[in-house]
Structure 1
Amino acid sequence: MISRHMLAALCALQASAVIVDHTFVDGVAGYPQDLMNAIGTQRWFFAHASVGGNMRSGLDALRGSNTGRYQWVTSSVTYDSGAQRAANPPSPTLAGRVYCCNRGNPGWSAKLTIFSNSLAVSGWHIPAADAVMDKMCYIDQAASAANYIAQMTALEALYPVTRLVYITMPLTTDSSSDNGLRNAYNRAVRQHCAAHDKLLFDLADIEAHDTNGVAQTFVSGGVTNQMLWSAYTTDGGHLNALGQQRAALGWYAVGAQIAIPEPAAAGAVAVAGAVLVARRARADR
């Protein structure tokens, strides 16, 4: 039986900002099966390039390890470079599918156009997709966070029942000025999401903490920045099997935030309470 207080808590979860960072990753293993089942019904559209491909591989590996718990199946969506959009959704799209459009790296501004066209022209929004996400790559260090935020805000107004999920830019292992630019972009996105009650997949924060939660940082111009943990990569930017797993678990944690406001059973409510407690603990730090 869901109490009135828990219902209020669930509404608060839906209405407040949630930044899914490294502190969420290890908790996924403890999610009750009914919550994993709810996550497993979601339909995602994901526009990406190579690191996004790493994330997809992580989802596939999780599913291979336990298909009953990690139920998402990834499917490829053709990219039409001439029209600058993903191909139209199949009819119907299937529950538990992550539809991945590898549109490569045509430049950060073009990536925004492609994502917008994929929703507005191709139709990648409800009823075809429940949640959508557009990921920049680490080579997009010059990207404008303001432009990304403005586009997401406009799309939210056009598709109010589709969940637009924000995501931070992935990092590299070095302490270069380019990595500093990535951090500046990510800070701006985090600040917007925190101030405007958005759901953020903080991929960069997951990349920047080892499996014990130790931050990987460098200081530039008096500012502490994050960097990719070297054990998550073999080339300084793309994710290896361990990095892919951590990113994929983080993605499931994002899925839980979408599923929790409409739980099918008491187990999901228990997780909602745990999420609230964890969030309050982080806020008190």
Structure 2
Amino acid sequence: MKRWLVLSSLFLMILSITLVFGGMMHSPLPEFPSINQISQDNWQKLAQQRILFGHASVGGNIVTGIQELQNQHPEITLNLVASETPWTVNRSGLIHFYLGSQPHPHQFSDSALAKIAAFSYLIESRIKNSVDIALFKLCWADINSNTDVVSLFTSYKTTIAKLMQDFPQTTFVQVTTPLVAEPEGVSAIKQWLKRLLGKSSSHLSDNVKINQLNDLIRSEYTGKTPIFDLATIESMLPDGTRQTFSDGGKTFFSLVPEYTSDMGHLNQTGRRVVAEQFLVFLADVASQRSPATSSQI
């Protein structure tokens, strides 16, 4: 009898861990498009664009992935220009910089609000109408279980609306916030026991908040402005199945474990997947714009 109870308890524990900390959604989305589907003409159009990209560490992973892809695909001639003073760059390409390293008058203890303000100030005071495409991304580290998602999104939405109004020549791209992987194996069991004892997992709560923010971004901007849905790509295997977890009876998405070595940053596999989709996305946005219409920085 005791043996039966132990086995039943173990089964229920494993089932609970699987439901809470990870699984696959088997209603797949369409498979990822390939860079091989992009015409040479569209690659050339992309190379003519001036693209401003503010990011932190995950963005750096993506840029590294682009460099690796370019080594294998010489048809992708997009210049990659790293600069902490992007307003001084006077050529086309992906002008990328570490967001928040530029001086600006706004001070926020909240890192997400600080990045939003820094990007806005950079555009308003330095860049103005001198780029074709502009985007920035927050980091998973900017969102935690205490984040007021609605308030944060309201600030983001207000900022983007003003930038779009002030600089109509620029295409402002929205980017969903990257996810983190959920624990597996022994780590998952430890997290499950904490939840069983009433000690919530802040890691799990952080991912829930990121999902909530991303849902607001998709709801507001789908069909209105281009969205690079980084979070969807990070949670999706190439065959279209999604990495999921459950919390409070709801299903959320998380980073595919095979795409990361530390639960947050992209490894070689992850950065290649994301970089390829980023290039495909940018090529599509560029194909809908007139080439190099912006002024010199």
TM-score (norm 1): 0.75
| CA distance in structure 2 between the partners assigned to 1:50 and 1:262 by the alignment | 29
Aligned position for 1:254 = 281
Match of 2:91 among 91, 94, 109: 94
Q: 1:24 to 1:111 in 2, by over 3 A?
A: farther
Letter in 2 for 1:208: S
Aligned position for 1:165 = 173
| CA distance in structure 1 between the partners assigned to 2:252 and 2:161 by the alignment | 27
For 1:165-244, list aligned pairs within 5 A.
Answer: 165-174=173-182, 176-194=204-222, 197-244=224-271
Match of 1:57 among 53, 64, 83: 64
Aligned position for 2:129 = 126
Q: CA deviation at 1:109?
A: 0.9
- Asked if 1 retains the 8 angstrom alpha-carbon contact of 2:81 and 2:96, the reply is yes
| CA distance in structure 2 between the partners assigned to 1:260 and 1:168 by the alignment | 22
Counterpart of 1:251 in 2: which secondary structure? helix
Q: CA deviation at 1:39?
A: 1.6
TM-score (norm 2): 0.72
Counterpart of 1:161 in 2: which secondary structure? coil
Aligned position for 1:137 = 139
Which runs of 4 or more aligned residues in structure 1 lie more than 4 Å from their structure 2 counterparts after TM superposition?
none
| CA distance in structure 2 between the partners assigned to 1:223 and 1:71 by the alignment | 43
* Correspondence 1:108 to 2:112: yes
Q: CA deviation at 1:156?
A: 0.4
Identity in percent: 27
Match of 2:82 among 61, 76, 79: 76
CA offsets, 1:33-70, max 9 Å, x none?
Answer: 112221222211111110111111111111111222x2
CA offsets, 1:92-151, max 9 Å, x none?
Answer: x212x111111369711110111011101122x433x11111100001223512211221
- Asked if 2 retains the 8 angstrom alpha-carbon contact of 1:59 and 1:72, the reply is no
Residue ranges of structure 2 left out of the alignment (5+ in a row): 1-28, 102-109, 183-202, 292-297
User: How many correspondences in the alignment?
Assistant: 229
Aligned position for 2:52 = 45
- Asked if 1 retains the 8 angstrom alpha-carbon contact of 2:86 and 2:95, the reply is no
Counterpart of 1:132 in 2: which secondary structure? strand
| CA distance in structure 1 between the partners assigned to 2:63 and 2:245 by the alignment | 29
Q: CA deviation at 1:234?
A: 0.4
Structure label with greater radius of gyration: 2
- Asked if 1 retains the 8 angstrom alpha-carbon contact of 2:31 and 2:240, the reply is no
Q: 1:262 to 1:130 in 2, by over 3 A?
A: closer
| CA distance in structure 2 between the partners assigned to 1:237 and 1:253 by the alignment | 23
Q: CA deviation at 1:90?
A: 2.4
Q: 1:28 to 1:176 in 2, by over 3 A?
A: same
Q: CA deviation at 1:224?
A: 1.4
What's the C-alpha RMSD, in Å, of the aligned pairs?
2.1
| CA distance in structure 2 between the partners assigned to 1:102 and 1:180 by the alignment | 26
Match of 2:159 among 151, 159, 172: 151
Counterpart of 1:122 in 2: which secondary structure? helix
